[in-house]
Amino acid sequence: MDKSNSLVRAINKNVRSSPRKISLICNFIKGKKADIALRDLEFTRKRIAKEVSKTVKSAISNAENNYQYDIDNLFIKEAYVGKSLVMKRYRPRAKGRASPIKKPFSRITVILQEKKDIKKKGNK
């Protein structure tokens, strides 16, 4: 495998939560090291953090198995969420009417990058 492109991606499709709720968690883990992000997600009180954690673990596995990256050097470069399908349901209301209910799904994308340690010459 070619290591010149050091980005590794994992996508979790059709997650049953709105993108607005998931984006809070994604912004929380951006820029952190992968193991620290997993630890933070474990202790987050949001229900959807479990799904985001699965996606991060999948990206780490992709990096390790497909590209032979060192897990200790991985950090989360990007974590974002987009819209997926929307289930439409209806609730009965007064006078024979119905009001719509939208149940949105989301798509979580996590992109990892390997951090290169650059040693400076001349500094002790």
| Residue 37 buriedness (CB in 10 A; 0-12 / 13-18 / 19+) | buried
Count how many domains the chain has.
Answer: 1
Q: What is the CATH number for 17?
A: 3.90.470.10
Estimate the share of the chain in helix, then strand, then coil, as percent rounded to the nearest 5: 35, 35, 25
In a domain, 124, yes or no: no
Helix (H) or strand (E) holding 67: helix 49-67
In a domain, 123, yes or no: no
- 3-state SS assignment for residue 96: helix
Q: Are 78 and 35 in contact (CB under 8 A)?
A: no
Does 121 reside within a domain?
no
Asked if 115 contacts 7 with a C-beta cutoff of 8 angstroms, the reply is no
pLDDT of residue 12: 96
The pLDDT of residue 4 is 57
> How high is the pLDDT of residue 123?
60
What is the tens place of the pLDDT at every residue in 12-56?
Answer: 999 999 999 999 999 999 999 999 999 999 999 999 999 999 999
- Spatial contact of 52 and 13, defined as CB atoms under 8 Å apart: no
Predicted TM-score (pTM) of the model is: 0.85
21 within domain boundaries: yes
Question: Please, what sign has the CA dihedral across residues 65, 67, 68, 70?
Answer: negative
Question: 74 in a domain, yes or no?
Answer: yes
Owning domain of residue 104: 7-114
* Cα gap 4→69, rounded to integer Å: 12
